[in-house]
Amino acid sequence: MSKKILYLVTEDWYFLSHRLPLALATQKKGYEVYVACKDTGKIDLIKQHNFNCFNLNIQRGTFSFFAILKNVIEIKRVITKTNISILHAVSVQSVILGLLATFFNHKIKFVAALTGLGSLFLARSFKAKIIKYFLTLFFILNFKKTNIKIIVQNKDDKNYVNKILLCPKSKISLIRGSGVDINLHKFIEEPPHPPIILSYVGRLIKDKGVEDLIKAFKRAYEKNKNIKLILAGSLDTNNIRPISKKYIENNSGSNIEFLGEVEDIREIWKISHIAVLLSKREGLPKSLLEAAASGRAIISTDVPGSREIAINSVNAILVKKNDIEEISKAILLLAARHDLRKSYGLKSRELVESDMSEEYVIKNTLSLYKSLYEKIS
């Protein structure tokens, strides 16, 4: 029986940035690799690696019955055509769609990678609470199946899946994100000259705390003119909580620079002194992994996912969500303390070299595939 695996992700860019190294390693192990995702203009870059690709019209964050039904039918067709043995779904939405598409198919081994519980689990509206309630029941029902394994990226999510979604610990694997290539992202000494540059790398959306960062930076700048903020990332207008281009333009200037999407993130960390991420919740943020690998001190919100790589008073200053004053004080403190930035930067590198390297993540994921495939054959 030939080994076939399907990666189900929402969009092509996410696969390229977060799952390509894993897929390449899987291919080297003799698997025939398929990728199903929405083509946002980068699917040809996936095909260049001799992966079989299928374009799905997935709308992120959409819980429309007809949209879900259409996606499920599309995925079922892909499964029928490819005759895969393992389906690896990445993100809450992809996991939901994959579980629905394979609901009556017990032959396929299912890997459910919950890359953070997402904006839906943060929402407070009545509609969101209703959806969350039914999704919880849906996950409880599906996670009891014998053909499924769950991957989580942080301890908080592992506890949630075990205690709230009633999934046995034996079915849950803690694998820390997509990892970071520590040979590619080498330790870099911080720039010796001013200004002190704080950098945010990621999509410009509200759930990443970008608005809080800009407000806090402006407050800090009033007391220290020797600091600068760089925002590196794309506007994500398809997100349910986007930030407008006008907002970014109105807040850009000599001390706040918007670079847009950057091809080589290493160039950002070469010129930066501090990494900042003020997310409301994360799985395990790749931007912080890369910043830590480069030896940068971190300012982060004290939230699930982020606090796995940003440890207070070790390599980071953790702040409360939405607390502009506290964030501003953290900026001023790290900007003023070269000794603290140096100490935190060294610890950052140590942390990623332990169990957050790309090599470690790939090794553990391939081991999971092997255990599942042995059950098939």
The pLDDT value given to residue 41:
95
Confidence band of 1 (pLDDT split at 50, 70, 90): low
Report the chain's mean pLDDT, rounded to a whole number: 93
> In the chain, how long is the greatest CA-to-CA distance?
67
Q: What DSSP state is assigned to residue 206?
A: G
Model confidence, pTM: 0.89
Q: Which of 104-108, 118-122, 263-267 has the lowest mean pLDDT?
A: 118-122
Looking at per-residue pLDDT, the higher value among 127 and 319 belongs to 319
Environment class of 5 (CB within 10 Å of its CB; exposed 0-12, middle 13-18, buried 19+) = buried
The pLDDT value given to residue 377:
57
Closest of 230, 219, 256 to residue 331, by C-alpha: 219
Mean pLDDT of 112-117: 87
* Same topology between domain 4-178+357-376 and domain 196-355: yes
Q: What CATH architecture is 196-355?
A: 3-Layer(aba) Sandwich (3.40)
The pLDDT value given to residue 121:
61
Confidence band of 118 (pLDDT split at 50, 70, 90): low
Is the pLDDT at 87 greater than 60, yes or no?
Answer: yes
**How does pLDDT run across 123-169, given as a tens digit for each residue?**
667 877 888 889 999 999 999 999 999 999 999 899 999 999 999 99
DSSP readout, 291-346? HHHTT-EEEEES-TTHHHH--BTTTEEEE-TT-HHHHHHHHHHHHH-HHHHHHHHH
Is the pLDDT at 376 greater than 80, yes or no?
Answer: no
**How does pLDDT run across 190-210, given as a tens digit for each residue?**
999 899 999 999 999 999 999
Mean pLDDT of 17-21: 95
Q: What angle do CA 201, 204, 210 make, to 5 degrees?
A: 80
The structural domains of the chain, with segments of one domain joined by +, span 4-178+357-376, 196-355
- Tokens 């993540």 sit on residue: 361
Fold of 4-178+357-376: Rossmann fold (3.40.50)
Is the pLDDT at 17 greater than 60, yes or no?
Answer: yes
**How does pLDDT run across 330-372, given as a tens digit for each residue?**
999 999 999 999 999 999 999 999 889 999 999 999 999 999 8
Is the pLDDT at 69 greater than 70, yes or no?
Answer: yes
**How does pLDDT run across 259-279, given as a tens digit for each residue?**
999 989 999 999 999 999 999
Q: Most confidently modeled of 50-64, 104-118, 140-154?
A: 140-154
The pLDDT value given to residue 13:
94
